Amino acid sequence: MTRIDATFARLRSEGKKAFVSYIMAGDPDVDASLAVMKGLPGAGVDIIELGLPFTDPMADGSTIQLAGQRALEQGMTLDRTLQMVRDFRVGNDSTPIVLMGYYNPIYSRGVDTFLAQAKEAGIDGLIIVDLPPEEDEELCLPAQAAGLNFIRLATPTTDDARLPRVLQNTSGFVYYVSITGITGAAAAQAVDVGPEVARIKAGTDLPVIVGFGIRTPETAREIASVADGCVVGSAIVGEIAKGRPTAEILAFVEGLASGAHSA
């Protein structure tokens, strides 16, 4: 059982939905990013998605693209991202960390080497958005053999013919993208999301977490009420981009988490 599995088991026993937050590793710099990361569990975050900066983030909107650029300009690398995870683990051995990014840096490192380093650092799962199920032998299956969850995205365009393939080797949870398009592009609507979550859950026992388009505690509560939890990324990254103090960023996160947990 991974930390992700254990977290969902705990939440089920408490009758709570999950709140997942995304931040970009190294944005606006390593120290500030790590300070926010260390504060997220205390602000109510159940699972941390940590973005791996990449030069061509094709699934991300401008907010997260700019965060990646800021991190890269500060010299953020895969090695420094893994070190950030190690530094976090010094004080927290229970909160799951999911590394979210693209395959190129992993391929360049070498899959076996990367997986060994990720596991040693304390990463629990991967979301690699540019590897489709047809490429499961590249990373998905080796990752799961190494003890890491491989989390797949389903979208509004994932039809009934495609969905079983998407779910086949997914573990940890399913990430449902609530809108078509890039991150931060539109507002999620529970009336649209609910039936899609039900359709996914008919094909898997995994939790279904909904992301994209969630910016307020109210929306977090509405979306979590029709799923097993929600993810907020662009809204949090936007607060970081404004240069707000860590305490203000975490207070913003706490409001979102409270919304999700009240569902």
pLDDT digits (tens, 9 = 90+) for 58-105: 878 899 999 999 999 999 999 999 999 999 999 999 999 999 999 999
Q: How far apart are the first and last CA of the chain?
A: 26
Annotation marks residue 49 as catalytic: yes
Architecture field, domain 3-261: Alpha-Beta Barrel (3.20)
CA distance 232 to 200: 20
Question: What is the per-residue pLDDT for 69?
Answer: 96
Contact yes or no for 229/20 (Cβ under 8 A): yes
Contact yes or no for 95/45 (Cβ under 8 A): yes
Annotation marks residue 60 as catalytic: yes
* DSSP string computed for 224-254: HHTSSEEEE-HHHHHHHHTT--HHHHHHHHH
Query: So where are the chain's domains?
Result: 3-261
CA distance 218 to 54: 32
CA distances from 193 to 61, 155, 166, 176, 254 (A): 20, 10, 18, 9, 23
Please identify which of the residues 5, 27, 46, 49 carries the catalytic annotation. Answer: 49
Question: What is the per-residue pLDDT for 134?
Answer: 96
CA distances from 199 to 8, 171, 229 (A): 20, 17, 16
Phi-psi region for residue 243, left (φ > 0), alpha (ψ -120 to 50) or beta? left
- Render each residue's pLDDT in the chain as its tens digit; 263 residues: 899 999 999 999 999 999 999 999 999 999 999 999 999 999 999 999 999 999 988 878 899 999 999 999 999 999 999 999 999 999 999 999 999 999 999 999 999 999 999 999 999 999 999 999 999 999 999 999 999 999 999 999 999 999 999 999 999 999 999 876 555 555 677 788 999 999 999 999 999 999 988 999 999 999 999 999 999 999 999 999 999 999 999 999 999 999 999 99
Please identify which of the residues 27, 46, 60, 136 carries the catalytic annotation. Answer: 60
CA distance 152 to 155: 10
pTM of the shown model: 0.96
